Amino acid sequence: MTNSTSSKNYAKALADIAQDNVMSYNDIKKNLDIVSEILTSSDELKNVLENTTISNAIKIDIINEVFKNQINEKIINFLKILVDKSKFNEFSEIKKDYEKILDDVNNIKRVEVISAVPLTEEHKSRITEKLQNKLHKEVIPNWIEQPEIMGGLVIKIEDDVIDSSIKKKLENLEITI
């Protein structure tokens, strides 16, 4: 299980690299994407780097070899720190937390919009526009179909849920009866 406070702190450290103009926010993200892609394509590599019984020196040699021509030296050093602190198993969580910071920097809000039926492009556009006006941010929606909500919409913005589904209205009606 990952420590979300820890992953947020490491993500903040990555953001500090961008704030210090050592690398751009987007370059850091591209480097993290490359690392993630390599780790996803090799379970063996991921398992070795996360294995606490393998010496850190061996892991650092592996990082140097695998990533030397792939990513920026600053990110290689960051990976080495994760190894030294036994936090490499939090890499994907750190990456997600960094992406949230990047969204904040770029004034972006990611939302989930759940509907019972496919929405037309016109409806999607209107929903996105209304959310952008309400949130004062660029909204990137993730459109999901769930027939079980019967109708209406469920909009999830981080921990907030706006539920105008027919299913929810029926549940509320049952409570009042």
Give yes or no: residues 26 and 99 share one domain: yes
Give yes or no: residues 84 and 10 share one domain: yes
Give yes or no: residues 24 and 85 share one domain: yes
Last residue of a domain, one of 104, 123, 143: 104
Last residue of a domain, one of 104, 128, 149: 104
Give yes or no: residues 100 and 111 share one domain: no
pLDDT 10s digits, 94-144: 999 999 999 999 999 999 999 999 999 999 999 999 999 999 999 999 999
SS (H, E, C) the chain: CCCHHHHHHHHHHHHHHHHCCCCCHHHHHHHHHHHHHHHHHCHHHHHHHHCCCCCHHHHHHHHHHHHCCCCCHHHHHHHHHHHHCCCHHHHHHHHHHHHHHHHHHCCEEEEEEEECCCCCHHHHHHHHHHHHHHHCCEEEEEEEECHHHCCCEEEEECCEEEECCHHHHHHHHHHHC
Cα–Cα dist 131/137, whole Å? 8
> Predicted confidence band at 1 (pLDDT cuts at 50, 70, 90)?
very low
Give yes or no: residues 95 and 25 share one domain: yes
The enclosing domain of 25 has a CATH number of: 1.10.520
Give yes or no: residues 79 and 111 share one domain: no
pLDDT 10s digits, 35-76: 999 999 999 999 999 999 999 999 999 999 999 999 999 999
Last residue of a domain, one of 70, 85, 104: 104
Domain carrying residue 57? 4-104
Number of domains in the chain: 2
What's the pLDDT at 2? 45
